[in-house]
A and B are shown apart, each in its own frame.
Chain A
Amino acid sequence: MTFLQLDNIKKTFGELSVIKGVNISASKGEFVVFVGPSGCGKSTLLRMIAGLEDVTSGTLSIDGKDVTYEEPAKREVSMVFQSYALYPHMSVFENMAFGLRMAKLSEDEIKRRVAEAARILQIEPLLERKPRALSGGQRQRVAIGRSIVRNPKIFLFDEPLSNLDAELRSQMRVEIAKLHRNLGATMVYVTHDQVEAMTLADRIVVLRAGLVEQIGSPTELYDRPANTFVAGFIGSPKMNFLTAKVTGADASSLQLSHPAFAGESLSLAHGSASKAKVGDKLLVGLRPEHLDVAAPAPLLRLTVDFAENLGGSTQIYARTGEEAVTILTNGRPDLTPGDQMAAGIDPRHIYLFTPDGLAL
């Protein structure tokens, strides 16, 4: 059942259109992640769900109730801010109790709820401290605690981990995932970090310039990106794209040619092969982690530009003509710039896109 529904939501600031008609629905208990480059409107969208930004047009409903023009407090959502937004003059306890006091709960109930949240987040020893006496990770926990105590219908997270160092970030990422599992709550999470999106989400919404590019599970987005933007955004390092020419097409297979291909041609079985015509150009998408430098029958002939030793793996920057190809491989192949190298790929891992970027 749909728990959160965004229906043709638009937002303009004066002349500037920031959200250009977005439809998203989430069911109860789902973890939805909005991901996209900066300026794509993901934070604005989150703030519209919270009620901190007015909706220019469209409808927004939570738990079957139209809340498009509802006051933030009455939407029963809570939000964890990027800056944490802890009240600096109040103790951790008072920070967490603030919303409960506003709701005029009894003092016993407030104490019980704060204690419960503090226990879940392991911040019990910090309750008397002021925010300035806390580390970044502790502040983060308090901010999450403040949103837990109110028992909201939806938790909103606005890039909550971006102020933490790498180690703490992955630690908190795991904790948020655990929290979601234990509370079974509906969560909407904004990030520009595709690793956070991939690891946390039940469903990812990829946004660009105020429009939804694709919605799907992390696996769907990785395996079947709708377009080159999603393909490039999900997965790290980025997918490689080579522009190839169609030299033959029938109902179930394609022949493509590119100077880098072994024998300058590639024969590929593809379900939508009939959509392409001989002479068309197609973008061939190859993920760096799928390219195999030790393949027995290599597909690509490349020139090495540079190799980065990452310890357990190596990232190779190679080139064919003007086009760059990145390869992520295990081990430490012995390569020097200017070397010729070959790389193969399982044909099932080859993605095809039309020249305007849509998946074939």
Chain B
Amino acid sequence: MRLSSGNILHALGLTAVILFTLFPFYWMVSASFKTQADILASPPVWLFTPTLDHYREIFADSKVIGAVGNSLIIATATTALAVLLGAPAAFALARYDFRGKSDLWFWFISNRMTSPIVLALPVYILALQLKMLDTHLVLILIYLTFNLPIVVWICTDQFKSIPPDLEQAARLDGADQFTIFRKIYLPLGAPGIAVSAIFSFIFSWNELLYALVLTRRDVQTAPVVATSFMSGYELPWGKIMATGTVIVLPVTIFALIVSRHMVRGLTMGATK
């Protein structure tokens, strides 16, 4: 590639974006290996002797392990259910005509227009009455209501981009609706499904508000536990940062696994 001024500007811009995005991660991860004194030092200490004390501390704390476990259960269950329910719904919306289709379509996305905090109190009272406070199920159900519309929207869009001829060829080949969905739409819609799954997983993994409101002791999720360290007179930054790093890790791994599909999914339609 020739080194033109445009290229240099482009590279500088990219570098700025990368620094801006990655610096907080660097700060979090490096702080998790620093002593409290190093963390609070001003000007910041760039060279330090790493310590694993914070990790020892959080892994010794059953609360953190339990919370990561809870988060995994809730995020995985939510994602699985959202895809399991959302993909067939998207197939129907993409390929069939039925009464009220456009209203239903709009209703799905309008679910996301309400600010979550507006519903926090009613949902809390509901969960209280149903004796569902501090259970995995209540969070899974709540997250499902937020994630399902996203899954349906992304998957519908993806399924619509599959040529209808394929479905008709399959019908002539003797495939029933379920087989068409399973053998044609699922494999060809994999990028969209992967994108919606990762959105769903990240949302459920990171969600704080409802997790804070609806859990007490048994089902606290990782973000709730991380914020619970922020009490008392001294903020244990090292511990918070180490917990943060542990929280980010599964999502990063999950994202790396599906990223190949994800990039394909996000750029889909751009070149057509």
Contacts and interface: CB of A to CB of B under 8 A. Distances in A.
Contact of A89 (B165, B169, B174, B188): B188
Nearest to A147: B172
Contacts of B175: 73, 98, 102
A50 B170 contact: no
A52 B171 contact: yes
Interface in B146-166: 163, 165-166
Interface string A53-64: 000000000000
B179 interface: yes
B171 A81 contact: no
Give the interface size bracket for B toward A.
10 to 19
B173 interface: yes
A319 interface: no
Given A89-B187, A150-B173, A102 B179 contact: yes
Given A81-B168, A83-B163, A85-B163, A103 B187 contact: no
A71 to B, nearest CB: 8
B184 interface: yes
Contacts of B174: 73, 99, 102-103
Contacts of A98: 170, 173, 175, 183
A103 B179 CA distance: 13
A355 interface: no
A87 interface: yes
Contacts of A73: 171-175
A87 B184 contact: yes
B188 A79 contact: no
A48 B183 CA distance: 25
Interface in A147-167: 150
B173 A99 contact: yes
Interface string A120-157: 00000000000000000000000000100010000000
A78 interface: yes
Given A85-B165, A88-B188, A102-B179, A79 B170 contact: no
Contacts of A51: 171-172
**Most chain B CB neighbours (cut-off 10 Å) among A77, A86, A88:** A88
A88 B183 CA distance: 11
A50 B172 contact: yes
B173 A81 contact: no
A72 interface: yes
Interface in A201-255: none
A50 B166 CA distance: 14
B62 to A, nearest CB: 46
A338 to B, nearest CB: 51
Interface string B168-200: 111111110001000110011000000000000
Contact of B172 (A78, A86, A88, A89): A78
A89 B183 CA distance: 9
A268 B172 CA distance: 54
A85 B168 contact: yes
B168 A52 contact: yes
Nearest to A73: B174
Contacts of B184: 87
Contacts of B173: 73, 98-99, 102, 146, 150
Given A73-B173, A73-B174, A81 B187 contact: no
B166 to A, nearest CB: 5
A79 B183 CA distance: 19
A83 B165 contact: yes
Interface string A96-132: 0011001100000000000000000000000000000
Contacts of A79: 168-169, 172
B253 to A, nearest CB: 26
B128 to A, nearest CB: 48
Contacts of A146: 169, 173
Interface string A16-30: 000000000000000
A244 B170 CA distance: 56
A85 B166 contact: yes
A81 B165 contact: yes
Given A88-B188, A89-B187, A89-B188, A72 B171 contact: yes
A270 B39 CA distance: 109
A81 B171 CA distance: 13
Contacts of A99: 172-174
B172 A72 contact: yes
A75 to B, nearest CB: 8
A220 to B, nearest CB: 32
Contacts of B168: 50, 52, 72, 79, 81, 85
Contacts of B166: 85, 87-88
A102 B173 CA distance: 7
A79 B174 CA distance: 12
23 contacts: A51-B171, A52-B168, A72-B168, A72-B172, A73-B172, A73-B173, A73-B175, A79-B168, A79-B172, A81-B165, A85-B163, A85-B166, A88-B166, A88-B188, A89-B188, A98-B170, A98-B173, A98-B183, A102-B174, A102-B175, A102-B179, A103-B174, A146-B169
Given A72-B171, A87-B184, A102-B175, 13 more contacts: A51-B171, A73-B174, A79-B168, A81-B165, A83-B163, A85-B165, A85-B166, A85-B168, A85-B169, A87-B166, A89-B187, A99-B173, A102-B173
Interface of A: 50-52, 71-73, 77-79, 81, 83, 85-89, 98-99, 102-103, 146, 150
The 6 closest A-B pairs by CB, nearest first: A99-B173, A102-B174, A73-B174, A85-B165, A85-B169, A89-B187
